[in-house]
Structures are given as C-alpha cells and as structure tokens.
Chain A
C-alpha cells in the first residue's frame, strides 16, 4: 500500500507525454515539440539531421548511444553541439544487435541504430522495448512502424566558390510525416551545419575573390 502514491504519480505523468528536447528549429517538426519518450523516429537521407536531433538531449545531461552506424562523423557531431562525452558508440554489434539495443534502451535516453537489414518482427520488438523503458529509438533509414519519419528534401550549401572559399553552412529542407498526431506533414528549412547564409555580400565572402593588393579593398579599412 505504501507504494501506491508513487504508482499513481507515475501513471498521472503518463497522460502528458514526456519529451526529450530537440533543437529549437527542429521542434516544429514534432507534434509534441520534441522526441516523445517511448517513440520510434526514423531519419532518412541525412546523417547530419540525425546528429542535430542529439544536441539538446546531451546538453541537458542525457545519454545517447549509436549502434551499428560506424560511418557517423563524431567530429561533426561535436561541432554541432553534441556533448560527445555523453555519447557511446557500438560500431559493430554483429549478431548481438538486438540484445545490445535492448540493453542500451534500459540505460540511455536516445538510442540511434541503423535501420538497414532490420526485419519487421525485430523492429516491432525493439520499438516495444523503447516504449516500455521510456527511451527514444532513432533509426537511420526506414523503420517499420515508426511514429514519425523525417526525410531530407533539398540541401543547399553556401560558401564554396569555384576554386576559392570553403563550405560554410547548409540549409536543408526537412519533411516530417507520421501516424496519429503526426499524420499532417510538416516541413521546415533548417541550418543543419555551419552558419546561416548572410543576406548580402560581406567582406569575408569577397576577400577570396580579389587580391587585396589589386582591388581597392583592404582588410584594415573595414573596421
């Protein structure tokens, strides 16, 4: 009987879905303003988009596991703001894929896995495990029964010229489709990596175009 009040409390908290926060510009893609705990979200077409979803959770002291996705650039993740000290990587779980993901769903907030070669029955089992543990299962690639599926639609880089400049930032269109509360498709443009594109030409952009001693532009004179 003594345990009852806490049980009631935990049941009450189930009514309003608990959410793992995501970056502000991505929140609009989810009907709950973030990754609902216990849900499964599939990400298609962009690893950077997957990494962008991990920024806020690690910032807030949460833990993230990456299972079977050895290609993820962790340096890019760190630059995007993911606190890599709270990231764990299992590059090649091999035959123990299912038990590894299940064990990690017990302990961490978000588990990102590769959706390739996962059969329906296993996918359902792992999604149920995530639901039971209140963790978020993120799949890179299609996932049978995912509640929300994010896909990349268009990708524009800026900063790189022909023989000059460098990649400075990218604007990516992201579309969210899903089931239930997420049935209505949502679309937004986000700056996934780097800086957002300035509206007009700045000194930094033209300095690669002209030799400073030929044109009238000199670095010191702009300040």
Chain B
C-alpha cells in the first residue's frame, strides 16, 4: 500500500472562478451550474449559502454574493499552478481531480524528517507559489489520504482502517451515490460497519463497483493512482447455449474470450494487470477469483488463467452443483499498453523464465495465489526476518530495506533450517540450573548443556554470544529485546550439531539449526 500525502484545496471551483474573475479571496462567491449552487467559499457559507441551493435563494441570503459560472476546464487549468507548486517540493505528483493532488510520502518524509514537517512545508509552498489555501493529510492509500487531508490529519502508517472506521458512508460520495443510499437504508452508517461485511457477500449482492467501495472502506487501495481507470464496457462475457460442466469445453470458449478482451483493451491502449474471472452456474452460484499479475497479461496468459481457474473450480473439492451458464472476464486494473513491450528491466525474461512462470501460475490456480511464494532478501536481525516471502507475480518488495545497518544481526553462515513453528529449548549450567540473560545482555552462567524440544540434554562443546538485539526501544509497543546464542553440541548421528538459540521474554527457543 502506498503512503501518500494529499493536498486538498477546499472549494476549488470557487477559488479558480474567483481568480479568473479577479475577485478578492474574502469576498463571498458561489459557482452556479443549471441554476443551482455547486460550490461556495467560506465567506458565502458564513452568510448561509450552501451547495444545492437555488441561485435566487442564495442571492436572497447574501445580496453581494458573486455568482460565477461553472467551468471544469477553468478549474483544471488554474489547478496546474498548485500541482506545480507541490512538485517543487516533492517529485511524482499526481492530480487526482482539480482541487486534489497526491504525492508519494516516502521521499519527502525522509528528507524533511517527519511527515508533519512535510505537511507544513506543503501548505507554505502552495500559499507562496500558487496563492491558494490548502489542507494537507497523509495516510496509506488515496482514499484515506484524501479524507485525512480534508481534516488536516497525518494518520500514522498502518492505521488507515482505524481512522476510516468511525467515518460515515457519505464519504464514498459522489462516486458511489446509489450504494451509499442503499447502505444507509440497510442501517450501515459508518465505513467500519460496511467494511466489516465479507467481501464475497458484497461482491454477490452489490456488484463490482461496491467491491471497490468496500475495499476503500477497509482502508485498502482501490488501485494505485498511477494506473489508469478501467473503462466500463471492457467486460468480456460468454454465455454457452447449454450449461457446460466439462473444462475442455469452457476452455475452448475461453481462448476466444481472451482474444476479444485483449483486443478491446488494446483498442483503448490498455493492458490488464488484474483480472477477475467470474462464472455463474445454472443454479445461480457465483464463483469469482481475481488474478493479479505484475506483468500485463497477453491473450495466451488470459486464456491460461481462465483454463486453470476453471480446472480448479470444476475439478476441485467443492465444485459447483450445476453447469456454468455464464463466464465473465473483468479487467480490474489496467496499465498503459506500451508497458507490454517493455520487460528489459526484468532481466533473464527468456524462454525458461516464461516456462517457469506458467508453471507457477498453474500451481496458483490449484492452491490459490498466496500459496506460491518467492523469497526476497530483506533487512532484519534474525535469519527468518532477513527473507521476505512475496506471492508469485507480486512486486518483489522486501519488508524492510536490506541495505541499512542492522546491529545485532549475525554474520554468515546462517542456519540452513528455520523451524516453521517455534521450538522450545533449555540451556543449563554445570550444576543443572537454567542459564538466563541479564538486563545488560550478559549470560548468568556458562552454558554446559542444551535440551531441544524436551529431548535429552546434550553437552555443549562450543558456544558464543549473546548477540544483543534491542529493537525499536524508542517505540515501546513495537520494541523487542532479544539475545542470540550460538551453540555447538556433542555429536549425535541424527541431530544437527549446531544451533542458533534466541532468548525473549525469559524463554529460550530454537531460531535456527545448522543442519
């Protein structure tokens, strides 16, 4: 999830129209379209003028109200100055709509030390270079960041869902007007209540658009702002004459369907990076799964995924009770078409890589996308933390940057076995008393024997440590104090000789085995 700053200029249509008409900023003004007020500034609001009011009524409440015509082109044109002002401070600016501009938080936050400092700088910058007032907010994801901006808040990382939860469903306006109306009639008044519904239920009751709104309500990203919006008419549908139960019969149709979808996308200059495959059966069961892909999908790629998905459904343990009557391919996320031709940066995108990639995707069809993982070297102290496993096809992003100093991490060689579940260990001194680690990271006695997972104690022939790792002590909720110990035990035919032990919360456990 991208962390974003959003710069929000309140009442932007009025500000732009006022600037075009040369009005002072504090004069009451309203923008009117089709005889209705669509936007007002603060001065006019103080006089009792509000959006949705008839023009004559608003003039009745505030006789010296400046009534200005609506003109989206003008709004966008004037907003360019704000975008440029923001861009002077932070690169990679994206205009969400006139009045709202988003910028990735990572770079500027590191440069100006804190996010609050960036927010202050951005406000000054926009005031100085664009003569406009603005509010700045930061959060994970565009939706949360926009709402944070309207409140002038910096929402801490990872807390977007918490921030959104008490807000009303009206925040989904104007894009999801129909859904908001429906949710309020159902008694779901907050985003938290809507987000608590299971996604499958939302998908089947309210449709695809509601799923996007549902993702937003849960603080997830609808789609990254760099990607392009999916035109509505790009869903490819196939309805066989008779319900189909055999995979090969649907797979044949899938090929043609994939070609059609790809052509339609290419016609818009787009390629698909996230594809939903949905099937409806004769009895009204709806099966749906979304396929994510780091590389844009080719027609063969789409057809393969459809075939594998159907294979998974029709031959799986919980197969539908009737034949498939409708098959739909919905592009959920698209990128500009030319991205298809690139691929140079991926390196080694040869025949073998393509063949391997197809096999991985096949297995994802059998087990689900999250079951096929690929390791990425990451930063950290323990051997398990230093590898991040990301689902195949996702961006290979490590959980923590590996190129920082990680004091307390052990040098190579690392243990070749990391127990998937914690394994308890006991470290004993000469006299049989347990060995601990003091508050100053010193062993309380010399280790003489080690018992692993309740097994017999084996004599220690060599040991070193403890390696102290006092992590995030400046932030108590995330703080961890651990001490690591390497031990070499008396030889045993069936057990590894060397262990990496770690002590946390007054307990030893096996972090790795040198097997």
Residues of A at under 8 Å CB distance from B? 45-48, 51, 61-63, 65, 70-80, 84-96, 99-100, 103-104, 106-109, 155, 157, 160-170, 193-194
Contacts and interface: CB of A to CB of B under 8 A. Distances in A.
A190 B219 CA distance: 52
Interface string B231-256: 00000000000000000000000000
A162 B515 contact: no
B371 interface: yes
20 contacts: A46-B515, A51-B416, A71-B420, A73-B418, A74-B387, A88-B373, A89-B375, A89-B389, A91-B371, A93-B367, A94-B367, A103-B359, A104-B360, A107-B359, A108-B355, A109-B352, A160-B463, A167-B464, A167-B514, A170-B514
Q: Which 9 A-B pairs have the closest CB atoms?
A: A107-B359, A63-B356, A193-B413, A48-B416, A160-B462, A194-B413, A76-B414, A70-B420, A76-B416
Given A72-B416, A87-B374, A61 B352 contact: yes
Interface in B348-362: 348, 350, 352-353, 355-360, 362
Secondary structure at chain A's binding surface: helix, strand, loop or mixed? mixed
Secondary structure at chain B's binding surface: helix, strand, loop or mixed? mixed
Given A75-B414, A84-B375, A87-B374, A161 B367 contact: no
B146 interface: no
Interface residues of B, number: 53
B363 interface: yes
Contact of A161 (B464, B491, B514): B464
Given A47-B515, A107-B355, A167-B413, A75 B462 contact: no
Contacts of B355: 106-108
A162 B460 CA distance: 9
A88 B352 contact: no
B305 interface: no
A61 B355 CA distance: 12
A95 B371 CA distance: 13
Given A84-B375, A106-B355, A169-B413, 6 more contacts: A61-B350, A84-B374, A86-B356, A93-B371, A103-B359, A170-B413
Contacts of A170: 413, 498, 514
A218 B411 CA distance: 24
Nearest to A92: B371
Contact of B366 (A70, A99, A162, A169): A99
A73 B414 contact: yes
Nearest to B308: A103
Given A107-B359, A193-B413, A167 B498 contact: yes
Contacts of A92: 371
B464 A166 contact: yes
A100 B363 contact: yes
A162 B487 CA distance: 9
Contacts of A84: 374-377, 387
A87 B358 CA distance: 14
Nearest to B350: A61
B412 A79 contact: yes
Nearest to A93: B367
Contacts of B418: 71-73
Contacts of B374: 84-85, 87-89
Contact of A165 (B348, B412, B464): B464
B371 A90 contact: yes
Contacts of B1: none
B269 interface: no
